[in-house]
Amino acid sequence: MDQIPILKIGDCLLVSIQVDMHDRLALQLQDDLTNKIVTSRARGVMIDISALEIVDSFIGRMLNNIAAMSKVLDAVTVVVGMRPAVAITLVELGLALTGVRTALNVDKGLELIRHLIDDEQDPDDRREE
């Protein structure tokens, strides 16, 4: 059984999707990730989709779900490395990914997560964002 590895960097979890995901794998990732957030007390989740050639509505929904769940578990989610073609297609497809924060690459993503975690500590700032 394929499994997508989840790496821990500090209080951040890093998931790099390197394979063409089928739906069950996506659902499993969702489960694994939420569990890992709880056990590792992580504050941020970064999902690297630079290897994904397509993101269809199912994967989109999965990304949205992960973001929503980690938020409930007090963690922020950033999706990084989306290819331009995928981005265009997502928009054309009508998927907004409204609950998901994105960053261009892993560096920028880590930066964003730091920033977000810091912000979280001040709830008022969060509202302004």
CB 31 to other proteins: min, Å = 16
Q: Which of 68, 71, 63, 12 is nearest to 36 (CA)?
A: 12
Whole-angstrom distance, CA of residue 23 vs CA of residue 70: 20
# binding residues, other proteins (CB under 8 A): 24
CB 92 to other proteins: min, Å = 5
CB of 53 or CB of 125, closer to other proteins? 53
Q: Does 95 bind other proteins (CB under 8 A)?
A: yes
Spatial contact of 1 and 32, defined as CB atoms under 8 Å apart: no
Partners of 77 in the β-ladder: 45
Q: Does 38 bind other proteins (CB under 8 A)?
A: no
CB of 61 or CB of 114, closer to other proteins? 61
Backbone dihedral angles phi then psi of residue 73, each to the nearest 5 degrees: -90, 15
Q: Does 58 bind other proteins (CB under 8 A)?
A: yes
> Residues in the chain, how many?
129
- List residues near other proteins by CB under 8 A: 20-24, 53-58, 60-61, 64, 83-86, 88-89, 92-95
